[in-house]
Amino acid sequence: MKIVLSTDHAGVDLLRQLEAFLTEQGHECLNIGPASIDPDDDYPDFIFPAARKVAAGEYDLGIIMGGSGQGEAMAANRVQGVRCAVYYGPATAVGAVDAGGTAAADEYEILRLSRQHNNANILSLAARFLQWQDIQKAVTVWLETSFSGADRHARRIAKLDQ
């Protein structure tokens, strides 16, 4: 799979680790994050190019990082055709996770839902809230999950992408 990677200063070191991890898994990666840590950099300068590559179909998926991952996701979601989900860490649902009343399978269900129901094509990770082992697990779960293709989800996504 072709995956574009980017971050702001908060995720530089973690993104390098992630790039190596994904490459070892057989993925083709392009890291367009900053080469060094500069607290004055602006995340849109690094996130917009990554989001545009996914939206244009040059890359299958994107993984981005920032301190909270929130601003980065907001930037990515401004690019038409991008559906970016934010992940802070493992969490268990307090109730059913879908309209059918299905309970959460485990603490990574939110990642699966972002792909199954929303066909998220970029994952934004909260670098200051995640340990490396959480990132590895989260990315693995996210990449192994496919869009369900259900009509109701496809209809909703089409409205987002208009």
User: 132-139 long-range contacts, Cβ below 8 Å, gap at least 24?
Assistant: 132/14, 132/17, 134/89, 134/90, 135/14, 135/17, 135/18, 136/21, 137/90, 137/108, 138/87, 138/108, 138/111, 139/18, 139/21, 139/22, 139/63
Q: What pLDDT score was predicted for residue 91? A: 78
* Active-site annotation, residues: 72, 117
Q: Return the CATH architecture of domain 2-161.
A: 3-Layer(aba) Sandwich (3.40)
Q: What pLDDT score was predicted for residue 149? A: 94
Q: Tell me the pTM.
A: 0.93
Q: What pLDDT score was predicted for residue 37? A: 86
Q: What pLDDT score was predicted for residue 161? A: 81
Q: What pLDDT score was predicted for residue 103? A: 66
